[in-house]
Amino acid sequence: MALVNEISTFLQQGRAPKVKELVAQALEEGVEPKIILEEGLLDGMNVIGEKFKNNEVFVPEVLIAARAMNAGLEILKPRLAQSGVEDKGVAVIGTIKGDLHDIGKNLVKMMMEGKGIKVIDLGVDVAPQTFVDKAIENNADLICCSALLTTTMGEMKNVVETAKAANIRDKVKIMVGGAPVTQSFCDMIGADCYTPDATSAADAALAFCTNK
Amino acid sequence: MRIALIGCMVLAREVSYALYQSKNTIQCSWLEQGLHNTPEALRQRLQEEIDRIESRQQTLPAEQKADAIVLAYGLCSNGVVGLRSRTLPLVVPRCDDCISLFLGSRRRYLDLFHSNNGIYWFTKGWVENSFIPSKENYDALYAHYVKEYGEENAAYLMEVETSFIQNYENAFFIQSPIYDDSTEAQKVRETAGQFGWDFREVAGDLGYISDLVNGIWDEERFLVCPPNKTIVADYQGKKIAEGD
């Protein structure tokens, strides 16, 4: 459908006002909210996500595309709820205790939202107990922690341990990421998933949520 | 002792000062600052340099061959993990990054890290080699974004890129014991004022760097990784270790 394709295209260009306008127009014309979401907004984010993974676009392009997606979502959300479209999963996300840089975490959040996952952003400097409490409170499928510093990445182990102590390890997958984090670190602390970039993180998150 | 040293440009002044005073003969290669942002690229560049040094060794007369390759790097986002040499021992400081090297020890860095909220570190080397947060730099970045993405998106991008400023509380400037860095310190002091951060000067200490180039490599502060072993991460406090 031409209109929905246009939404995807304008989203990829980061043109938030245009995306918002076209989403409103599509709703008025009676296009199903689910179609607007999946074939317009999420499709656009998928294209940007793949390009980002292949170094064809960079952080600013992802940020403005995600902003355009959110502009569209803002008016689409109430209609999605009315028509019974559900989130594909729930993730809580934050930077680990002591770590204050959040651009990477924000990118992952945007990419996950671009897959239709509801993301609860706990911000920066998040204590292990907070990750776990918020995961329980929101009935989350995923806990996602990021670290930019080798000084702080050790705290991720405490998130895994705290989740174990709270008996939620069978319900919640723990994903870890950030520049110094590696697969071997993920294995060592007993987390479930490491991905090297935001796009793969969103793919893995979606896989966890749909294969539950 | 003869040493082949690979260093980050951010430490060039400090390492050069130490090697100028050293009894050892030291051959230096410098890599540009900022590679820690892409640890995979840092690892690759370091490995290439290690390989180049080792190949060159074969062409040198015995008295000119190096005894070790020394890295003037910390873990640097784990960019040193995975490195290996074929013929020479590989010496790496056991610390998170260059801040420990500027401060003289990992312990001193960690003490400051844990006793102060949100420290953004500065040195003359950082100011002259990298994009550091400052009003001036952000004004230029904003102008670039306006040109590339339009005014509305530019304002949003700046909001995202500068949101970390409110998470930090302190600007610590590591003052050099060997050269005049008052201009850079003043610049950072102004930035701190603009960002609402507390500014503090912390005395630099070249002891760690000096021991690195002088071959005083105790087990606690340095990993001496033998040839044909790989540097692996050690999450138990030693930072790095030798693996297969």
Tens digits of residue pLDDT in B193-221: 999 999 999 999 999 999 999 999 999 99
Of A120, A119, A206, A130, nearest to A162 (Cα)? A130
Q: Is B85 exposed, middle or buried (0-12, 13-18, 19+ CB in 10 A)?
A: buried
Q: Give the per-residue SS3 of chain A.
A: CHHHHHHHHHHHCCCHHHHHHHHHHHHHCCCCHHHHHHHHHHHHHHHHHHHHHCCCCCHHHHHHHHHHHHHHHHHHHHHHHHCCCCCCCEEEEEEECCCCCCHHHHHHHHHHHCCCCEEEECCCCECHHHHHHHHHHCCCCEEEEECCCCCCCCHHHHHHHHHHHCCCCCCCEEEEECCCCCHHHHHHHCCCEECCCHHHHHHHHHHHHHCC
In this predicted structure, the answer to whether residue A76 has a pLDDT above a threshold of 80 is: yes
Give the nearest partner residue to A14 out of B36, B153, B164, using CB atoms: B153
Number of domains in chain B: 2
Please indicate, yes or no, whether residues B21 and B79 belong to a single structural domain of this protein. yes
Please indicate, yes or no, whether residues B138 and B125 belong to a single structural domain of this protein. yes
Q: Which residues in chain B are closer than 8 Å to A16, comparing Cβ atoms?
A: 152-153
Q: Which of A19, A150, A156, A157 to mutate to test the interface with B (most CBs of B within 10 A)?
A: A150
Confidence (pTM): 0.88
Q: Are B59 and B36 in contact (CB under 8 A)?
A: no
Contact A180 B39 (CB under 8 A): yes
Q: How far is CA A130 from CA A68, A181, A200, B114, B124, in A?
A: 30, 21, 25, 20, 38
The answer to whether residue B142 neighbours chain A at the CB level (below 8 Å) is no
- What is the ipTM for the molecules in this complex? 0.85
Q: Which residues in chain B are closer than 8 Å to A189, comparing Cβ atoms?
A: 235
Task: Please report the pLDDT score of residue A86 as a whole number.
Answer: 87
- The separation between CA B243 and the C-alpha centre of its own chain, rounded to angstroms, equals 23
Please indicate, yes or no, whether residues B194 and B223 belong to a single structural domain of this protein. no
Could you report the per-residue pLDDT of B154-166, keeping only the tens digit for each? 999 999 989 889 9
Task: Please report the pLDDT score of residue A9 as a whole number.
Answer: 97
Q: Is it true that domain A2-82 has CATH number 1.10.1240.10? A: yes
Lowest mean pLDDT among A43-52, B20-29, B126-135: B126-135
Model confidence band, residue A127 (pLDDT cutoffs 50, 70, 90)? very high
Please indicate, yes or no, whether residues B211 and B223 belong to a single structural domain of this protein. yes
Q: In chain B, which residue's Cα lies nearest the Cα of A197? A: B38
Please indicate, yes or no, whether residues B86 and B116 belong to a single structural domain of this protein. no
Q: Which residues in chain A are closer than 8 Å to B163, comparing Cβ atoms?
A: 102
Q: Which residues in chain A are closer than 8 Å to B97, comparing Cβ atoms?
A: 150
Contact A63 B160 (CB under 8 A): yes
Chain B residues 99-128 with a CB less than 8 Å from chain A:
110, 113, 118
- The rounded percent of chain A whose pLDDT value lies above 90 is 87
Q: Which residues in chain A are closer than 8 Å to B131, comparing Cβ atoms?
A: none
The answer to whether residue A120 neighbours chain B at the CB level (below 8 Å) is no
Of A76, A17, A11, nearest to A45 (Cα)? A11
Rounded mean pLDDT, B28-50: 95
Task: Please report the pLDDT score of residue B69 as a whole number.
Answer: 98
The answer to whether residue B157 neighbours chain A at the CB level (below 8 Å) is yes
Rg (CA), chain B: 20
Task: Please report the pLDDT score of residue B25 as a whole number.
Answer: 96
The rounded distance, in Å, linking the Cα atoms of A157 and A191 is 8
Domain segments of chain A: what residues? 2-82, 90-210
In this predicted structure, the answer to whether residue A212 has a pLDDT above a threshold of 80 is: no
Task: Please report the pLDDT score of residue B236 as a whole number.
Answer: 76
> Which of A40-49 are b and which e, b meaning 16 or more Cβ less than 10 Å from the residue's Cβ?
bbbbbbbbbb
Task: Please report the pLDDT score of residue B130 as a whole number.
Answer: 87
Q: Give the per-residue SS3 of A181-207.
A: CCHHHHHHHCCCEECCCHHHHHHHHHH
Q: How far is CA B110 from CA A12, A127, B59, B99, B146, in A?
A: 43, 19, 43, 10, 40
Could you report the per-residue pLDDT of A188-207, keeping only the tens digit for each? 999 999 999 999 999 999 99
Please indicate, yes or no, whether residues B178 and B226 belong to a single structural domain of this protein. no
Task: Please report the pLDDT score of residue A40 as a whole number.
Answer: 95
Model confidence band, residue B228 (pLDDT cutoffs 50, 70, 90)? very high
Model confidence band, residue B185 (pLDDT cutoffs 50, 70, 90)? very high
Please indicate, yes or no, whether residues B96 and B212 belong to a single structural domain of this protein. yes
The rounded distance, in Å, linking the Cα atoms of A70 and A92 is 18
* Strand order from edge to edge, sheet including A142-146: A118-121, A90-95, A142-146, A173-177, A193-194
Model confidence band, residue A211 (pLDDT cutoffs 50, 70, 90)? confident
Rg (CA), chain A: 17
Task: Please report the pLDDT score of residue A81 as a whole number.
Answer: 83
Q: Which residues in chain A are closer than 8 Å to B168, comparing Cβ atoms?
A: 100
Contact A64 B153 (CB under 8 A): yes
Contact B167 A184 (CB under 8 A): no
Q: Which residues in chain B are closer than 8 Å to A100, comparing Cβ atoms?
A: 118, 164, 167-168
Which residues are CB-contacts of B191 (< 8 A; sequence separation ≥ 6)? B132, B133, B134, B135, B171, B197
- The rounded percent of chain B whose pLDDT value lies above 90 is 90
Rounded mean pLDDT, B73-81: 94
- How many residues appear in chain B? 244
Positive/negative CA dihedral, B97, B99, B104, B106: negative
Q: Which domain, by its residues, includes B18?
A: 2-100+206-243
Could you report the per-residue pLDDT of B86-106, keeping only the tens digit for each? 999 999 999 999 999 999 999
Model confidence band, residue A39 (pLDDT cutoffs 50, 70, 90)? very high
Chain B residues 40-79 with a CB less than 8 Å from chain A:
75, 77-78
Q: Which of A13, A146, A151, A189 to mutate to test the interface with B (most CBs of B within 10 A)?
A: A151
> What class is the A90-210 domain?
alpha beta
Please indicate, yes or no, whether residues B56 and B23 belong to a single structural domain of this protein. yes
Contact A60 B81 (CB under 8 A): no
Please indicate, yes or no, whether residues B41 and B54 belong to a single structural domain of this protein. yes
Give the nearest partner residue to B39 out of A103, A157, A179, using CB atoms: A179
Please indicate, yes or no, whether residues B133 and B188 belong to a single structural domain of this protein. yes
Task: Please report the pLDDT score of residue A162 as a whole number.
Answer: 98
The rounded distance, in Å, linking the Cα atoms of A177 and A192 is 11
Rounded mean pLDDT, B59-80: 95
Q: In chain A, which residue's Cα lies nearest the Cα of B77? A: A180
- The separation between CA A210 and the C-alpha centre of its own chain, rounded to angstroms, equals 14
